[in-house]
Amino acid sequence: MNSRERVLAAIAHKEADRVPVDFGGSLATSLHTQGYAKLKKYLNMNLDKEIKVARGRAQLAAIDYDLQDTLGVDCRMLLVKAPDGWINSDDHSDILVDEFGMEWKKYEDIGSYETVSSPLFGPEVTVETVKNMKWPDPGDTSFLAGAREKAEQIRKSTDKAIIANLALQINTQSNKLRGFEDYLADMIGNPALIESIMDRVTELYIERAKAILKEVGDFVDIVYVGDDLGTQIGPMFSLNTYRKLLKPRQKKLFEVIKSAADVKIFYHSCGACSVFIDDLAEIGIDILNPVQVSAAGMDTKELKKKYGDKVCFWGAVDTQRVLPFGTVAEVKDEVKRRIEDLAPGGGYVCASVHNLRPEVPPENILAMIEAAKEYGVY
């Protein structure tokens, strides 16, 4: 059984030879460039190779294929080039401007970028402002250059499952544009404004999904999309708010993805998001990531019992305490526990809950992968 078959079996809720392992296959299962530098040094591998950045604003590393092969992980990341005008991964300027006209400032000691301005920040913004803002052209396909060749090359060079990392976050992009606090308040106080922003973002992302999947759809197994719905202590908003504002738009996008290619939908939402799982499954997600086990209501035993037949869980190895602060033995116990909870009958891909911060010791990263392979044998 090869990696791809192993991953597809898990998604189809079947037990493979072992639980598949992901490290560096998606925009939410990788690590910070500084952490990657430490890992390479620890492994004494690829020290002469420059670290590629998968996502500039989070300083997320694109893990080298040979290192993934050495570790025996089961997934590959396919990244489509950012549209012109979006943050360039190689650009290390202090202020970057994205395609929506938002400015991102680099915070050196934190090692990431945060938005500092947007055309839709502030109390005066109305539906008219949204209409008159300069939006990215949905017909722009500049980002497709080389995508098909790259996807084909990855497909031919590996038997790993390939994840097209499209992101296409309707909720996250809309809240970035409006500013998180105003966005949340407007969901109640001025929903028409939020809907007008979401509509433009959805329209743009639907065109992008169509264009990208037309190019690479036949070479990929999984499409990564995401929209955070949870916080540490509870859902970001009520299920009613989700159903009214976000769900119909996500449904349209997921329908487009599924009709454009034979792919599984990998849905990423941080935080306490268990109340949304039934609705997400209904609109077509196959995989739920990252299963933030430290958030409220995200107990893996309970999740498996309630939703195990609806979604494949992907992630769940704790990044808030165990991976950064735990011992190697604690990491192994954590992996064992998550596999026991989530893997019976298939439906689990083992990975860290989200990207690892620079402080996570290389020993713990390797222990996670080793333990997944050791305890994951069916």
Partner 1 sequence: MSIQTVYDAVLEFNNSSIVAEIKRAMAEGADAGAVLADGLIKAMDEVGQRYARGEFFVPEMLSAARTMKTGLDYLKPHLAEAQSEKEGTIVIGTVKGDLHDIGKNLVAIMLEGGGFEVVDIGVDAETAKFVTAIQEQNADIVCLSALLTTTMGAMQKSVQEIKTQCPRVWVMVGGAPVTQEFADKIGANGYSGDAAGAVVKARELLAG
Q: Which residues bind partner 1 (CB under 8 A)?
A: 107, 109-110, 114, 180-181, 184-185, 187-189, 231-238, 241, 294, 319-321, 324, 357-359
Beta carbon of residue 17, minimum distance to partner 1 (angstroms, whole number): 34
Q: How far is the CB of 320 from partner 1 (least distance, A)?
A: 5
Cα–Cα distance for residue pair 246/61, rounded to 1 Å: 30
Nearer to partner 1, 49 or 321 (CB): 321
Which residues make Cβ contacts (< 8 Å) with residue 255, sequence separation at least 6? Answer: 284
Nearer to partner 1, 88 or 320 (CB): 320
The minimum distance between CB 235 and partner 1, in angstroms, equals 6
**Least distance to partner 1 from the beta carbon of 107, Å?**
7
For residues 238 and 171, what is the distance between their CA atoms, to the nearest angstrom?
A: 14
68 vs 174, which CB is nearer to partner 1? 174
DSSP state letter for 202: H
Q: How far is CA 373 from the centre of its chain?
A: 23
Question: CB 231 → partner 1: shortest distance, Å?
Answer: 7
DSSP string, 244-265: IIIHHHHHHHHHHHHHHSS-EE
Nearest-angstrom CA–CA distance, 227 and 166: 12
CB of 214 to partner 1, least distance (A): 37
13: left (phi over 0), alpha (psi -120 to 50) or beta: left
User: How are beta strands 161-167 and 75-79 bridged, if at all?
Assistant: parallel
List beta partners, residue 225: 167, 267
Alpha-carbon torsion (210, 211, 212, 218), positive or negative:
positive
Is the Cβ of residue 163 or residue 365 nearer to partner 1 in the bound state? Answer: 365
By beta-carbon proximity to partner 1, the closer residue of 68 and 173 is 173
Beta strand segments in 278-317, E: 287-289, 312-317
Compute the least distance from the CB of residue 294 to partner 1, in Å. Answer: 8
The residue among 188 and 329 lying less far from partner 1, judged by its C-beta, is 188
Kindly tell me which of 74 and 318 has the beta carbon lying closer to partner 1: 318
For CA atoms 268, 271, 277, 280, give the dihedral sign.
negative
